Structure 1
Amino acid sequence: MGKKATLEEWKGLYEMAIKIKEMKPWERLNDLDFITIEFDENSEPIVCSILGKGGETYGICCYRGYEEIYKLFSMIESKDMPPEQVYRYQDCLACYFGDREELNNKEYKLIKDLGYKFRGKGNWIFFRSFDPIFIPDMPNRDEVLEMTKILEQLYYALQGMYFGFNVDYENGMMLVRAFDKKTGSWVNRRGFLEDLEMKFEVSLRHDELFIKRIKNKKPTKVLLELDIAYLNSIFKDEKYEKPLVMRMALLSDRKIGMILSHHLVTPEDKDTDIYFNTLLNYIYHNGKPKTVFVRDKYVYQILKDLCEKINVELKISKKLPAIDFFVNVYNSNF
């Protein structure tokens, strides 16, 4: 999980957060008016979303790289998905300007150790690291240092806006703050949201002989649902510093609502392998389904090549009725 940051390192992060809070950027920006940070031409972009325009949650969410940015857009488009399944897209570093009651004991102690005397509603600053595998917790040392660098450049980007650097957010633009290697300096420029589109590259080695055998399996009229579902349960393991969110790989028959296979997913498991092998194992023993329904574009891309090779239809469905029913029953009993 990484080492803990020192008080001095935390101090640097808090100082940047306080500077940004004083600017009240939510008065100018909506949460979808992104500011993108590019540290060099070889690194993936970091997208910052400013929360607070709606008057509820105030803060900054930082999405580091294309995978986290993809999850951000998936979360925005997840209105038809069961709420407990949206957690799979919670993957970012966040700074919040909230109330005393929102802090846990570790966060409150840190603020006291740093000598800050926050008072009043919306004035308590705290940080969370979100990971779809673990429950949210305080950032580790590497994350503290990374977020300090991000907030520093976000601060200068916001300064540029306040001094007249205008961005046409209504027409799909965003502010980009990038390091120019040629001049050795930081610059603000305008970019477009489509520049953030994730390029799916799912590298799975196929056993072509096995694929050929699978392709020749008898076709059926079965409609399958396949997902790694999130359950409203957490569990602790001595191997990990933080409690884990319980995730279960589920394969179901969409027509009759029956769960055909299930097993818990651990942090050591690769999601790509689980999706791929679960479907292959089913087909090997039961024949080819007519259609396989998956939750989102990411899983679709994992299985797309396989399904094309074996002539099985693949569709995206944010609601998976059989799996969602199983999850609801499980959650109501635990």
Structure 2
Amino acid sequence: MILEFKITLRDVGVPVWRVIKIDSEETFSTLHKVIQAAFGWTNSHLHQFFVEKSDGRDVNYVQIAQQIPDGVMDFQSESEMLIEDDIKLSDWFKKVNDTTIYIYDFGDDWSHEIVLTGKPAPVKGQPLPYCTAAKNNAPEEDSRGEVMMGEVNLKNDNPKRLIQDINDALLDTESYLENLEGMNFVDDPGVVYDPWEEVLLAAKEFHKLKPWEFMEDDQIFAIADPVLDEYYFCSVLGKAGEVFGLAIYPNREGYAILKEIQRGRVPDFDFLLKQRSILLSFEDRTDLAKEDYEFIKSYDVTFRGKKAWPVFTSYKPGYVPWIPDEYEADVLLEVVEEAIGLCKEFKNGKTLPDFFAENKVLARIPGVEDEVISLDNYQREDKVFQLEVSELDLRRAKKLMDNFIPATIEFVVTQIDMPLQENIGDRPAFPYLAIAVDYNQGMVFFQDVLPGGSDNGLLQNQLLKMLQLTEGIPEKLLVDEKTFEIMEPLIKELGLNVEIPNELPHVAEIVNDIGMLYQ
């Protein structure tokens, strides 16, 4: 049986985690080695496991160690101490959400939360242990002080490459631990990685094939990513003679967008706020923006002809359409190269299932035989919002609960079509507007603007700020569905009387006026 864990390094300032598949018959000793490899540790310090939940029940005083220290085997000790070489993962990880804490280096106290997230079926050709997802770099050894001072940058903008590095290390954890000293997953600063020349060459070959002459835009196929264990859904554009190219819709977010397109959704601002796709399109030379032309000319790849010059556009929820980043360039290269081969086969008679009618797709898995997969259970996971305000702010709000305000208030936190760029060169984002209006008087008494990409804690705090301003709890709060989703944990905590009407007339008018002013 395969176990899938999400292993999260706690208290380092940014999310740092890995999703790892491992055989259930492996021992905790092997899991220790896997964590060392996956997070780039050097096995230079002591470690220990602390079981918190097993078989769906809370567990107390169970420790799993490399060896039992002298003096621990005391009959009066409350803790059960086990040896990691003797304990299989299946002994303690039985149900989803079973949890164990792994502590490495009792000086720096690097705490890793290990949560069982599933028991997936084996994947042909996929070794174990195997990393399917990862976020950000782990800190270096003996750097707790620098991390606490905020002096360490752990951001990693190329998760695909990070995952590949982790899997390279996981191929032989024993060898990795023996040779790890002085190594980490951060790229050599002296090496500049640039995939764009290869991307341009692939785009040129794709244009030469002209697949829009024999393919419709509703003939969807997928390119599988065996590293991320996900799919890129592809649509060839150009049969209608308007936009020529390839639209790439990544993963579950892209699948959801395709389904909205199927239902005839007319693209609007709200659609833009949640669209996730990467577009390769071909334009006339005279229609290229100056920066696009200069970008192409900076590489030794030539283009000429009508609708032959490539333009690359990234669509990311909440952000302005922008130039793809390095990670997206890697995606473009992989997908376009595989799409060329599949389109050639389609031209020679290969058939595709009806994506929209059958909810199936032909998936090309690099190095493996193509397969038709059902998408009946391939849905975008609904985002679950948690309560993310501080205890202090929450206590302050609860002090207002005895002060009843006889008023109905429209309250919304929404992104507005007024893109802002925090720093030169940054991708502009659509900011959030938090606004509260007295429903009966139509008077705005609270408003604030937050940067695009603000976390849920900042957004939830806008409701607390509004309540502090009113110095009490309103009789009724009118919100839209998006605001309710974000604020629901806080609404329940405070016991607010909330309704979601069909429209919020005062807020709608104000947001519309802001949009007109910007235009």
Confirm or deny: 8 A CA contact 1:9 1:145 kept in the other structure.
yes
Structure 1 counterpart of 2:311: 126
Deviation at 1:148, TM superposition (A): 0.6
CA distance in structure 1 between the partners assigned to 2:497 and 2:227 by the alignment: 40
- Residue 512 (structure 2) aligned to one of 304, 324, 328: 328
How many residues are paired up? 321
Q: If the length of structure 2 is used for normalisation, what is the TM-score? A: 0.51
Query: 1:303 corresponds to which letter in structure 2?
Result: M
Q: So what's the TM-score if we normalise by structure 1?
A: 0.75
In the alignment, which residue of structure 2 is the partner of 1:106? 291
**Alpha-carbon displacement from aligned partner over 1:222-246 (angstroms, at most 9, x marks no partner):** 25241322234x4444x34135245
| Distance in 2 of aligned mates of 1:258 and 1:101 | 50
1:226 equivalent in alignment to 2:412: yes
Indicate if the aligned counterparts of 2:434 and 2:447 stay in contact, CA closer than 8 A: yes
Instruction: Spell out the pairing of 1:165-184 with structure 2 (5 A cutoff).
Output: 165-177=351-363, 179=365
Match of 1:273 in 2: 457
* Partners of 1:18 and 1:198 in 2: CA distance: 36
Post-superposition CA distance 1:293-328 (Å, at most 9, x none) = 3354xx5433334434525435386x6543332233
| Residue 30 (str. 1) matches residue 217 (str. 2) | yes
Which of 434, 438, 453 aligns to 1:250? It is 434
Give the distance between the partners of 1:109 and 1:264, measured in 2 at CA. 35
- Measured after TM superposition, the shift of residue 29 of structure 1 is 3.0
CA RMSD of aligned residues (A): 4.0
Q: What is the CA-CA distance between 1:103 and the residue it aligns to?
A: 1.9
CA displacement at 1:216 relative to structure 2: 6.3
What SS does the corresponding residue of 2:223 show, helix, strand or coil?
A: strand
| Structure with larger Rg | 2
Task: Provide the C-alpha distance between the structure 2 equivalents of 1:153 and 1:219, rounded to a whole number of angstroms.
Answer: 62
Q: Which runs of 5+ in 1 are unaligned?
A: none
Amino acid at match of 1:28: M
Question: Are 1:191 and 2:374 counterparts?
Answer: yes
Distance verdict in 2 for CA 1:280–1:9, change over 3 Å: same
CA distance in 1: counterparts of 2:424 and 2:475, whole angstroms: 38
Aligned to 1:290: 476
- Residue identity in the other structure for 1:9: P
Question: How far is 1:12 from its partner?
Answer: 1.8
1:68 shift after superposition: 5.4
d(CA) in 1 for partners of 2:257 and 2:421?
25
Alignment partner, residue 62 of structure 1 = 248
Deviations 1:34-80 (A, max 9, x none): 43333137534333344344443233332334345556656877958
Name the CA shift for 1:14/1:188 in 2 (closer, same or farther; >3 Å).
farther
Equivalent position of 1:139 in the other structure: 324
Distance 1:110 1:6 in 2: 17
| Of 121, 141, 150, the match for 2:335 | 150
Identity of aligned residues (%): 15
Q: Deviations over 1:258-303 (max 9, x none)?
A: 4443223225631x2233222233345341463443354xx54333
Q: Which residue of 2 aligns with 1:201?
A: 384
Cα deviation digits, residues 99-121 of structure 1 (max 9, x gap): 3344222221233343423222x
Q: 3-state SS of the aligned residue for 1:109?
A: helix
Distance 1:273 1:138, change over 3 A: same
Instruction: Indicate the structure with greater helix content.
Output: 1
